[in-house]
Structure 1
Amino acid sequence: MRTLAYRRPTSAEEAVELMASNPGAKFMAGGSNLVDHLKLGVASPELVVDVSGLPLDVVEECEGEDGHLLRIGANVRNSDLAAHPVVRSRFAVVARALLAGASGQIRNQATTAGNLLQRTRCVYFQDVTTPCNKREPGTGCSALDGYGRYNAILGASPECVTTHPSDLAVGLAAVDATVVVLGVDGERRIPLEDLHRLPGERPEADTTLAPTDLITAVELPMSHPDTVSTYSKVRDRASFAFALVSVAATLRLDGGTVDEVRIAWGGVAHKPWRAHLAETALVGGRLDEDAVRAAVDDELDVATTSAETAFKVAMVRNATTMTLLRLAEEAAR
């Protein structure tokens, strides 16, 4: 049985100080990811800093520097966030992404910040008997020549071809969320799109955060009343399965013309993939099947596939087309 120290700070500042004075310590909130890794031997911290008791569990509307926003505390449970009336009415893409993830029991335990910081579910990362650059830098990537159905097709590197597992992160990427972080030098804000990183030569680093950084909240700019949004997830079974491909999208039409569209993909990269090229191609035009497929193909022009992942190109194209056409019908009502 592994031994480790356990601390339960009473403030966010104390939590950051504990991390700063104990290199290799790990934050824990809901624990649905870290506890698994402790059992598997993937993680072996000498100290666990339990932040689940910190008063970071409120969802509230407030004013920010750029206008009205919804502020979500880091410890808000996934089930509570999905059921929140403002999230359901103004950020349907976030609510549906949450409900597409895990199971009811896990959603009752998992937190907003913890969901964003999930580590990959690559089978080789979780199997400590196999080489994995993300788990042990420099050992190699077993997924390159192994089981690769869930591998990335965008932004991967020879060091790592895994994908990011969070549904919530993809939904938040589509609404231009901002992550509020407390570090040793104080508080700062990071666009969610800049929170996660591509593997490059350092796949062990999932995010741009320092080990001492604590996410305290996520802020969502309030959507335009005419904006519609949703989340579509393609997976092997109807529940408790990670995405082969997922699509988070928001849409606002002006007559029959696209005034604003945001698209984020899951299951295709090391991070939620914001499809900026596709968005640019669609804005100002009519939204029909041919236009969406052409825009998606522009974005996927840099995709790299293997025999096992080639299906994802067609799946992304079809799922995005279906999602946006349904949103267009909803926006036109």
Structure 2
Amino acid sequence: MDLLTPPNNVTEFLLLGLTQNPHLQKILFIVFLLIFLFTLLASLLVGITVSLSPTLSAPVYFFLTYLSLIDTIYTSATTPKVIIDLLYQRKTISWGGCMTQLFVVHFLGGSEIIILVVMAYDRYVAICKPLHYTTIMRLWLCQLLVVVAWTGGILHATVQVLLTVDLPFCGPNVIDHFMCDFFSLLKLACSDTYKLGIVVAANSGGMCLLIFFMLLISYIVILSSLKSRGAEGRRKALSTCGSHFTVVMLYFVPCILTYTCPVETYPVDLLMSVFFIILTPVLNPIIYTVRNTEVKNAMRSLLKRRVT
């Protein structure tokens, strides 16, 4: 079956968006546009800094470059339509556009989760096994882990789309959202989707919880190992780990709240989606520059070099 061809008479969906208030729509248009532009510039700055700074050659910054790339693609694939739709009262998306958007969101979301896990593993090796760090975290392994992240994202997104394309849509086509959301589509299906919703919530929510607790345990182990370090070693380790753990909290808490609740009760679904789509990509580069001493020093060095 062609995934971009609707299996029924519904060829497009009508999006209700964030608000129906014209004045508020104009305000959100300006706010979201500024955030989007800032996200692109901040992610580009992080990527350029890591690429041109010899002091940021550690694997953790190699992964940070890909995290910035994912955030840039993520916000570029979804936010522009959200911003443009704020200028119109009638917001629509075709069946093919809906499936494409669903795939892209879950592909990049799944890839980002794996990258965050990989970065946690990198910090564990660097702090708990420092003598073996360069032996373990070789370039070929880092590249392989990035390929695993992209592959995992593709598999996750494919499953989400395959669960959606066979749903029968025979009547209502109004989505109470600003984008194509899996649970919003379930509510429009003509068949009983309660069990499917529970399976998806248990699968996605369970994975978010499991990975989050794994990351939490890894950081407890890392913090425990810092007791034997000197003050300078603890400061440097906490600088990079603190940035990464803040990003993990910002990503996984909304993920858990979104996917572990029953399908019928999503009062904060729009807020969580705004956080995922628009705010998280702009917060990540800020966190990694404001809280990370090495990145800040590298940016200052590059700026001085350009000025000179």
Q: TM over 0.5, yes or no?
A: no
Q: Which has the higher contact order (CA 8 A, sep 6+)?
A: 2
| Structure of larger gyration radius | 2
Q: Which has the larger helix fraction?
A: 2
| TM-score, with length taken from structure 2 | 0.29
